[in-house]
Amino acid sequence: MDIDLNQIEEIINQIGQAQTLEEVDALYLKLMGKSGYIATATRSLSVISKDQVKEIAPKLTQLRQLTETATKKTRLEIKEKEYEKLDLEQLDLTTFEKIKQRKGHLHPVTQFEIEIAELFSKLGFQQFDAPHIDTDENNFELLNIPDNHPARDLWDTLYIDQSKLKVSPGKLLLRTHTSNSQVHIMKGLKPPFRMMSIGRCFRYENLDARHEHTFDQFELIYIDKGVNMGNLQYLSEYFLKAVFGSDIKVRLKPKYYPFVEPGAGVDGQCIFCHGAGCKVCSNSGWLELAGAGMIHPNVLRNGGIDPKKYSGIAWGFGPERMVMLKYGIEDIRLLKSGNLKFLERY
């Protein structure tokens, strides 16, 4: 078995003269790779005489070390030369001037919410911000939805891990709806009042074109003596006519929500087919656009208000859904995608 140490030395010399990192790596592998010269020679030691091994093995060790040091040194030299080149390089910043300046604007959902807040402030409604992280009590129990009540299935809830919390504020969750504002408002104010609450809500949803885990809601509460379903019909028409035009027809239909009695779904006649029936309204001619009702006496009592003296209406809807209908957007996920090409259209 012939072991050609001269050839190995020759390649080590080549490493010293290499000009690029790729060259160095290729030569290094030629020696040290699995089937490289040094590796092959080392394997051959098992088939040569003991005397030859005694002579060659130490030389191989030495060549291995030489390969490592030559590779390290040349790599460093090449890198330093590259850095010198970088120092000499001049950056051309003039291209920045050529990029068209982009003007920022409000998100379409924010624009819509501002518009609606102005609309209702004309009727005397004032804004109130309720917490995003709230207690199970405010989000559910005081709204007539006790623990283990089957109605809880209407809201897929994200609870907070409180195991490391040093205080005990009660069971915490990410609010599933802006209805959590109702009891905060009732406890903080004396009736009569007209309030609105707008903001983020969160649910443990299966995401698709119509469901997001993070979305907004808009809530109205109006409490006074003699408030009734007529007021609800009026407010619903006022709102939907402002958003979709004065010829939209509006109807209330019975719907169950635990915190209102009677509860109502607020329907607008389908803005796409005008009642004839189409894909968007599942051929019914109507779109359900909000949930509402007369505030349940239990909820009024929980807020410290006497249901024998006062009555109230509550009303809630999803601004994202309205914006989608208004502009014909088919996938709710686009709204929070941060995709500027999409957002620049509005």
Q: Smaller CB distance to ligand DAH: residue 244 or 259? A: 259
In angstroms, the CA 132 to CA 176 distance is 9
- Convert residues 153-192 into a mask of x (bound to ligand DAH by CB under 6 A) and - (unbound): ------------------------x-x-------------
| CB of 100 vs ligand DAH, minimal distance in Å | 42
In order of 9, 139, 220, 234, the CA distances from 32 in angstroms are 13, 68, 76, 85
| CB of 331 vs ligand DAH, minimal distance in Å | 21
Residue among 255, 249, 223 nearest 236 (CA): 249
Q: Smaller CB distance to ligand DAH: residue 43 or 211? A: 211
- Convert residues 209-228 into a mask of x (bound to ligand DAH by CB under 6 A) and - (unbound): ----------x---------
Contacts of 287 (CB under 8 A, 6+ apart): 267, 268, 269, 270, 271, 280, 281, 325
In angstroms, the CA 179 to CA 137 distance is 12
Catalytic residues: 155, 177, 203, 217, 260, 314
In the block, residue with structure tokens 């291995």: 64
Q: Which amino acid is at 16?
A: G
Q: Smaller CB distance to ligand DAH: residue 130 or 314? A: 314
Binding to ligand DAH in span 265-324, by CB under 6 A: 291-293, 314-316
Q: Specify the DSSP element, H or E, that contains 126.
A: strand 126-127
Q: Does 260 bind ligand DAH (CB under 6 A)?
A: yes
Q: Smaller CB distance to ligand DAH: residue 77 or 237? A: 237
Positions in the binding site for ligand DAH (CB under 6 A): 177, 179, 219, 257, 260, 291-293, 314-316
